[in-house]
Structure 1
Amino acid sequence: MKKITLLLILFGLTGFSQNIGVEKEAFAHTYSIVAKDTVTGEMAVGVQSHWFSVGALVPWGKSGVGVVATQSFVNPAYGPNGLKLMENGIHAEAALTQLVEQDKGRDFRQVAFLDAHGNASAFTGEKCVESAEHMVGKNFSVQANMMLNDQVVPAMAEAFATNSHLALAERVMEALKAAQNAGGDIRGKQSAALIVVGPDKVENSWEDKKIDLRIDDHENPIVELERLLKVARAYEHMNAGDLAVEANDMEKALQEYGTAEKMFPENLEMKFWKAVALANSGRLEEARPIFNSIFAEDKNWKKMLSRLPASGLLSISREELASLTEE
C-alpha cells in the first residue's frame, strides 16, 4: 500500500506520468469492461484481478463524462486525465491516443476509455503479458492481460452483447462471470470492483457514482461482487422508502420497504421499516407480529422504535407504542 500511495502522490504532483519506470508501478494484470447503457445513459466499469484491491486504481468514472479502465502495469493518471480530456469535449479515441503518446511506459499499459456518447477506445501495449488483447464494440470495450487463454475477451464481448435485457450493472456482471468461466486470470482470483455513473453531470461529488462496489480480497470475488450488487439493489428500495416517508407517502414507503424485504427476508432492518410503514398507515395489527419477531431476535430494535416518534418517523399514539414496547 505504501507503493500505491507513493505512486498516487507522484502522479498528483506531475500530472501525467511520463518518466516513472514501470518497475515502480502497481500491477493489475486483469480483465475488465467499460460500457454504456443506451437506454439509461449510465456508464460502468467492471474489473477482476489476482491482485489486492484492484478497485483502488483500475476503474474511474464521472457522470455525464465517461469511464476509464487502466490496468497491466497501472498508470493511474489515465483515469483523472482521461476524464478531464473527455469532459473538455475530446472523444474517447482521441483522448486515449493523446495520453498513450505521452506515456513512455505505454508498451506495458492496457487502457480503455468510453465517453458519454458511447464512443469506446482501447490500447494494449506490446509488452503486456500473454494472453493480452482487447475488443471494442458499440458502446463497450473489453480487455484483458495475463489470461489463461485467448477465449476470455471474446467470452466477455459475447456475454455483454447477449444480455442487453439486463440493467447495466447486472449486464457487466455477466461479462465478468463469462471471463472467469472462460479461464480468467492465469494466476487465479483475488479482488473485483464495479462502478456505475449517470448520464448527466452532477453538482455534488457524492452524487457521482450510482454504484460503487469493491471486493479487495476474497476467494471468489466475482461471486461476492454479485452478492453485494443484489444488496445494493435492495437498499435502493430502502432509500426510496425513506424518501417516501419524508414525503409522508406511507403507501409508497410500504411498497418500497416490502420490495427490499422480499429481496433479503432475513435482514432485520428491512423488516423493521416495513413494519413502521404499516404502523404509520394505520395497520398496526399487521405490524405487531413483525415487530415481535424482530424484538425476539434483537431487543435493541425495541429501543429504536421508542425513539422514532420524537423524530417524526412514527405516528402512533403513546398507548399504541407502549403496547409494542412494554415487556
Structure 2
Amino acid sequence: MTFSIAAHQDGRFGIAATSSSPAVAARVIHLRDSVGAVTSQNITDPRLGPALLDALASGADPEAAIAAVRRDEPDIDFRQLTVVDGSGAAATFSGRRTLGVHGAATGPHCAAAGNLLSRPDIPETLCTAFAAAEGELEERLHAALAAGLAAGGEAGPVYSAGLSTVSAIGWRDTDLRVDWQEDPIGELGRLLGVWLPQRDAYVQRGLEPAASPGYGVPGDDR
C-alpha cells in the first residue's frame, strides 16, 4: 500500500512517499526543523509521527525513539515506522501485522520501508538509489522513489505521491503532492522541475519580503 524514504542532507530533512491510496503524503510524512524525518505508515496512525519527533527532540536516538513509541502504542503490531535524525542515524520498525510482502532498510542518512510490495528488497533499492543520486535533497529523494518503482514497487499500481523537505526556516520549503494520477511519481518529478528553480525565491519572500524578487505575473509592477 505504501513505500517511502526519509533522509537527511546538509542539515535538511525530507521524505518521499507513494501509495495506491489517495493523499498518502498527508498521513505518512512527518518533519521537524533541526530534529528529524519520520514516517508512520501501513495501517497508518499519523499521531505516531509527532510522538517520534518529540522523542528525538528530547535527545533519543532513532532506535530509542522507536522503542519509546512501541512501549506506549497498544496497536504497534499494525504500524510501520522509519526515523532519521540530524546525525544521519536511522532506524525502522515493522509490526507483526504489517500488510503483505513488506520490508525496511537503512543506509547513510536514510531509512526506507514499504508494505504490500512486489518484493521485500524494494526499501533497500530506495536507500541504494538515494546514496548514488546527486543534487538537491529533493532530487535524490525523487530518484530513490523512481528507482523503487522501476524495481517493482508495490504489488499493484500506485496513484498518489508526495515529497516534502524542511530546512530550519520554520516551514516546509518543498511540499509537493500528486493525488489520484496514473503516474504519480512521474508527475511528481515534473512538478519538482517547476518548483526547484523557484524554491529559494519563495523562501526569501517569507524571510525578507522587501528584498525578494518580483512575482513575474500580470499586475506585479516591481
Query: What does the per-residue CA deviation read over 1:99-156, in whole Å, with 9 as the maximum and x for residues that have no partner?
Result: 0122222222110011222221100112212320101122111111100123422221
Using the size of structure 2 for normalisation, the TM-score is: 0.90
**Aligned residue runs from structure 1 range 152-171, under 5 A:** 152-163=122-133, 165-171=134-140
Distance 1:62 1:237, change over 3 A: closer
Alpha-carbon shift at residue 208 of structure 1 (Å): 2.2
Task: Answer yes or no: is 1:196 the counterpart of 2:165.
Answer: yes
Task: Answer yes or no: is 1:182 the counterpart of 2:151.
Answer: yes
**Contiguous gaps of at least 5 residues in structure 1:** 1-28, 258-268, 273-300, 314-327
Q: Which residue of 2 aligns with 1:286?
A: none
State the SS of the aligned residue for 1:173.
helix
Identity of aligned residues (%): 29
Task: Answer yes or no: is 1:31 the counterpart of 2:6.
Answer: no
Q: Which residue of 2 aligns with 1:42?
A: 12
State the SS of the aligned residue for 2:113.
strand
Alpha-carbon shift at residue 245 of structure 1 (Å): 9.3
Task: Answer yes or no: is 1:100 the counterpart of 2:55.
Answer: no
Query: What does the per-residue CA deviation read over 1:221-276, in whole Å, with 9 as the maximum and x for residues that have no partner?
Result: 1011111111111222654897999449xxxx6xxx8xxxxxxxxxxx75x6xxxx
Q: For the residues of structure 2 that align with 1:54 and 1:187, how far apart are their CA atoms? A: 15
Q: Which residue of 2 aligns with 1:14?
A: none
Task: Indicate the structure with greater helix content.
Answer: 1
Q: Is the 8 A contact 2:103 2:121 kept in 1?
A: no
Match of 1:214 among 151, 154, 177: 177
Match of 1:235 among 192, 198, 209: 198
Distance 1:102 1:235, change over 3 A: same
Q: Is the 8 A contact 1:133 1:153 kept in 2?
A: yes
Distance 1:226 1:88, change over 3 A: same
- Residue 156 of structure 2 aligns to which amino acid in structure 1? R
Distance 1:209 1:127, change over 3 A: same
Q: Which residue of 2 aligns with 1:172?
A: 141
Q: For the residues of structure 2 that align with 1:196 and 1:167, how far apart are their CA atoms? A: 11
Task: Answer yes or no: is 1:69 the counterpart of 2:32.
Answer: no
State the SS of the aligned residue for 1:57.
helix
Query: What does the per-residue CA deviation read over 1:67-89, in whole Å, with 9 as the maximum and x for residues that have no partner?
Result: 11010011111111111111122
Match of 1:223 among 164, 186, 196: 186
Q: For the residues of structure 1 that align with 2:128 and 2:121, how far apart are their CA atoms? A: 11
**Contiguous gaps of at least 5 residues in structure 2:** none
Q: Is the 8 A contact 1:160 1:171 kept in 2?
A: yes
Match of 1:138 among 108, 114, 122: 108
**Aligned residue runs from structure 1 range 49-64, under 5 A:** 49-64=19-34
- Residue 69 of structure 2 aligns to which amino acid in structure 1? L
The aligned length equals 221
State the SS of the aligned residue for 2:15.
strand
- Residue 222 of structure 1 aligns to which amino acid in structure 2? I
Q: For the residues of structure 1 that align with 2:92 and 2:199, how far apart are their CA atoms? A: 33
Q: Is the 8 A contact 2:159 2:180 kept in 1?
A: yes
State the SS of the aligned residue for 1:156.
helix
Q: For the residues of structure 1 that align with 2:139 and 2:149, how far apart are their CA atoms? A: 15
- Residue 179 of structure 1 aligns to which amino acid in structure 2? G
Question: Which 10-residue stretch deviates more, 81-90 or 44-53?
Answer: 81-90
Q: For the residues of structure 2 that align with 1:78 and 1:51, how far apart are their CA atoms? A: 19
- Residue 138 of structure 1 aligns to which amino acid in structure 2? P
**Aligned residue runs from structure 1 range 116-127, under 5 A:** 116-127=86-97
Q: Give every structure 1 segment of 4 or more consecutive aligned residues whose post-TM-superposition deviation is greater than 3 Å.
A: 237-248
Task: Indicate the structure with greater strand content.
Answer: 2
Q: Is the 8 A contact 2:108 2:131 kept in 1?
A: no
- Residue 30 of structure 1 aligns to which amino acid in structure 2? T
Q: Is the 8 A contact 2:173 2:199 kept in 1?
A: no
C-alpha RMSD over aligned residues: 2.3
Q: Is the 8 A contact 1:55 1:216 kept in 2?
A: no
